[in-house]
Every structure is written in C-alpha cells, then in structure tokens.
Structure 1
C-alpha cells in the first residue's frame, strides 16, 4: 500500500515528476521495449521461425509494456496486479525485514507466501510478489509452446482438409497468444532487473532503517531514474552489446528466479552511491552505463527463459485427454480429441 501511495504522491510534485512514470512502472516505456526487443532478437535458431523475425521482436517489445498499460481498471483488478511488479527485500534478501521470508526459501504457492507475511505481521501489499509473477509467466509460456508444438506437428501431418484447416487456424491463434505471453513475462523479468523493484529502498533510501552514508531519500528518485534518464540514455545496440552469454545449464525455476532477483538487489547500493556522486545527471556516462547494464541483465535473463520454456515444452503433455508432445511430434499419437475436444 505504501508503494502505491508514494507513486500517487509523486505525481503531485510538479512538472519534473509529471514527465516521468509513476514509481510502480519499472523502466517506463523505453526500458521495457528495449528489454523485450533485445531478448527476442537474441533468440537462437532452435526457436520457432515465427519468433525470429523483426515483427515478432517489435511485437514483444510493445507487449512488454502491457502490464503497466492495464492499470486503473478498479478493484480487485488493480490491487491483485499492482503488487506483481516488485518484491521489497531488505539488504539481506528477506522480504521487508528480518521477520519476513527469505528470497531463498519462498513458499511453493503465493497463498502460502501471503500467509507467511501475515504471520510475521507484514503487509502483503507492501511486500509485492514479483518472484511468483515471473514463475507464473514462465510456466504459462511453456504451456503455450507445448500447445504450439502439437498444433504445428498435427497440421503438417493431417490429411483431412477440415481438420488441417482447424489446426492451422488454432496454431495462428496460439502464435498470437505466445507473443502476448512473452510480452507479459518480459515485463516482469524487466521489472526484476530494475534495482528499485527489489528493495525496501524503492524510492529513495528507506526512512525506516539507518542511512549512515547519507543516501538520498527523495521521493523523485525512482521515477527520475527509470523514466526520463533511461529514455535519454538507453540504446538498443548498447543493450545488446552488454548482454551476457546464454546460461541454460542446470535449470531450476525455483532457484533461478530468486538468484536473478538477488543479483539485482546487489545493485541497489551501487545505484545510491552513484546517485550521490551525481552519476545520473543529464549526459553522464556513468549513469548511462549503469542503465545499459541493468537493461542488458533483464534482456539476457528474458532471452534465456524464453529458450528454457521452449525446451521444457518438448517434455510436456497437453490437452484433454492429454497427449504427449513428443509422441505427437514423432507421429505416433493423434492429438485431435486433445486439441479440438470431444464434447
């Protein structure tokens, strides 16, 4: 609740703040677009051809903004979704404070996470649930890919013209959904690369904890960084050049997401040190480099999660009655009833 209230208060502070997005909109439009575009442009040849096009990268870049653009629908819509964009950790990686769950030991379900926060006397809305938003988005995309694999294989083999036409149309529908869900996952992975979306110091250093280094407590800190400064400094070529090599071995979703968010948390103090040194002034190369590194971290992680979701989908089962993706792709199972339905 306090995070949302701070965002609304920031919008009343004058023209300088009005030029930047509310503090709950990590990266603003520019950053989210660049993360989505760079991730898709970095996909390897093993991914479906419809994703490895300029049109697909542009589409995912635009759709990566969508979770911010849907805000303001009312309740319960906004309350359920606004808290998906962040997770407020203390400097040790515990949610809000030492009494909260550790990012390394998150409960299996979000409902269990909420219960743990309440038991610790913490406000669920203050904590945020970004790790679960990322994991949910990944799992949805893997299901999308599994469905696409089945439809694509069935369309190529089907000899009945009516069934083949339906497979083609449903594959096209699934491709549109895949782009949409890649955008949504891209948004939350992008949020996770913005240091302010992983910390209790989300908009100036928290006034609830000691501040011996005298870091700024300005409530304009968050919006000015991710909005106007990022829009001026960020460049797609620089983001792509800074992206890490793929890291695809030994994947465990429940370990990977916390590790990613902890890497971003480690950049919170460097951000405030740089801010104190004036590094985010207009045209400052130090601030530009920081932005580029953070956007590249988001794009690298997103690219990898796209590839991993694609690989995971090969071992999935889909539809009802369920069929194994591998059997349909091998031509040993007929997916018609699983895909079209028998009722």
Structure 2
C-alpha cells in the first residue's frame, strides 16, 4: 500500500511558545521530541537537559524520514517501520491478521504470522517492532554511559581517564541521536493514520456506515499545513499526562499505546466529517495538540524507563554489571576498551 509522505524544510524556535514550520513530518516530530526532553526529571544525566541536547533531539526526531530515498533494500525495509495497519479491533490488516495484543517476541515471527494469514508483510508495517528496537538500543547507550561516567570519576591514571572522558562524550552524542530515532517512531505511533487501515481516507475495502471521507488527501490535510498552523509547544506541554512507569513492560506498553491511538481513528473521521478541521474551529486544534501531547508523554516515559532499567544490566566483554561498576566494586577498563 502506498502512503502520503510529507516532506518540507523548516525551522523551529523552541524557545518561543508558537512553532512556525510546515507539515507534521517536521512540526509534530520536533514538538514531541522537544516537549519530552524538557519534561525529563532531574535524576537523568544532566547533559540531556541542556538546550543543545533538547534542540538536537527535536531535529533528530525527523531523522527516519530523512533516511528515505537511499535505495533498495534500505527503503523497502525501513519505510514500513513507520506504521502498522490495524483493523478497528486491533488486528493486522484483516480479521485473519495477528492481534496487536499478541505480538510475537521477534519481528521475523510477526512476519511469519502475516504470511500465514495471507498478508503482505510490506503492506501491514511493523511500527511496534521499530519502537521496541529503538528503546532497547537506547538502553544499551545508557548502560555504557553509566559505566563510563562512573569510571571516569574514579580513575586516577591520566591516560585512562582521558579515554573514559572521550568515550563518554561519544556515547552522549549517540544517546541524543538514538533518542531522536525513538522519538520519531513513538511520534508516528501518536498519529491516528499510522495505526489503521484507514490511513488516508476511510478504506474502500470495508463498510463505511457513517459515510466518512474516502479522500486520498485526508492524511496530507492533517499532517500538512493544518498542523503547522495550529501546533504550539506550550499547548503540547500543557496537555502532557503524568508519568506512568510502574510495571513498565515493553511489549505490553507498546500494544497499549498503539491501541490508544487506534481508538482515536473513528473520532478523527467524525470530526473531519463535522468540519472540525476548518481554520477557525477549535475542535481540530484540540485534537491535534492532544495527539502530539500523547506522543511527548509516551516518549518521556520510555526514556525514563530505559534509563532506570540500564542500571540493572550487564554490558561489555568480559561482561560486567553496571550497578557493580557504579558502586566501585568492579574495574571496567578491559571490558570497555576491549581485549583482542
């Protein structure tokens, strides 16, 4: 299936409450990244709270869209990471497709389930796996940063201390980049059209009892000039929900988040039918800003959960426990620099 892809060059002044840019592909992703970063608690590394890191995450939140056009197999494999086409009851593409509530552990197993259901893997999309992969990658980043930061603080050998510092700085750049990638996919997951078979007008392959639009301009209308005109950082931040971190389970949280967005698909089409996206109608602005706030809230939670879990894992080779290094019980030098 083909999707409407929006691209535009624009700038965002994150210090100002109003944001003047074009297209959700830029505006929405920037806003979600910036709002989430500004909402991180103080117990996360201080470098994440700097204006530079916040601005960089906003820009890097667009990165998976900017990868497009690299050629094959890159594009075919990556383009389908931005969405998952679900029926109203959360099944992949058709009633025979696997349920979002029963995501297999591996993407390859998900692909096999789609093929068994007679579905084309490239039609359905694999957004949940892109989200989970990005979160796990960030967890590795945080774990290495914890070890490098602790080792640098304790190291007395000047040469080793300098190496730890340099590698920590490299890891900080990777963390900002990888938060940007995570931000993009979580942002995609907050946009109703990225979670449904009705991704660009109501699908003509299923009943349409309420007479919703089938216009192939629907996706572009919402992600394009409309959101550019009404999106505001202060409104998004005001709409963010309190953190929900207790019992964070990656697959369960992924499914719940995408289902919550899926539940906004029919309300979107009802609002569109009622003229809610007309220029002066506040209902459309409220809907769009709520969706951006949902993405920012989710991203904030995923970053915090990744940071907290990173204290409990093992990394490097030979493997070392992060919490033992932070406690000063283990010297991580060999595990960090490598032993050939």
Does the pair score TM above 0.5? yes
The 5 A counterparts of 1:84-123 are 84-123=81-120
Q: TM-score, normalised by structure 1?
A: 0.93
Equivalent position of 1:270 in the other structure: 267
Matches of 1:253 and 1:283, distance apart in 2? 40
Q: 1:296 aligns with which of 264, 283, 293?
A: 293
The 5 A counterparts of 1:201-280 are 201-280=198-277
Equivalent position of 1:71 in the other structure: 68
The unaligned stretches of length 5 or more in structure 1 are 12-18, 22-26
The answer on whether the counterparts of 1:193 and 1:297 sit within 8 Å (CA) in structure 2 is yes
Matches of 2:52 and 2:278, distance apart in 1? 35
Count how many residue pairs are aligned between Structure 1 and Structure 2.
Answer: 327
Q: Per-residue CA shift, 1:286-330, capped at 9, x if unaligned?
A: 100000000000000000000000000000111111110001000
Show structure 1 runs of 4+ deviating over 6 A: none
Correspondence 1:58 to 2:55: yes
Equivalent position of 2:15 in the other structure: none
SS in 2 for 1:314: helix
The answer on whether the counterparts of 2:103 and 2:110 sit within 8 Å (CA) in structure 1 is yes
Per-residue deviation, 1:279: 0.7
Per-residue deviation, 1:124: 0.4
The unaligned stretches of length 5 or more in structure 2 are 8-20
Matches of 2:285 and 2:22, distance apart in 1? 17
Equivalent position of 2:192 in the other structure: 195
Q: Over the residues paired in the alignment, what is the CA RMSD in angstroms?
A: 1.4
Matches of 1:163 and 1:282, distance apart in 2? 60
Per-residue deviation, 1:284: 2.0
Correspondence 1:306 to 2:303: yes
Matches of 1:224 and 1:75, distance apart in 2? 29
Q: Per-residue CA shift, 1:108-139, capped at 9, x if unaligned?
A: 10001001101110010110000000000110
Per-residue deviation, 1:282: 1.7
SS in 2 for 1:313: helix
The answer on whether the counterparts of 2:22 and 2:228 sit within 8 Å (CA) in structure 1 is no
The answer on whether the counterparts of 2:84 and 2:125 sit within 8 Å (CA) in structure 1 is yes
Matches of 1:76 and 1:201, distance apart in 2? 27
Q: Per-residue CA shift, 1:93-114, capped at 9, x if unaligned?
A: 0000100000000111000100
Matches of 1:54 and 1:301, distance apart in 2? 21
Equivalent position of 2:177 in the other structure: 180
Matches of 2:280 and 2:82, distance apart in 1? 28
Per-residue deviation, 1:20: 7.4
Per-residue deviation, 1:283: 3.1
Per-residue deviation, 1:55: 1.5
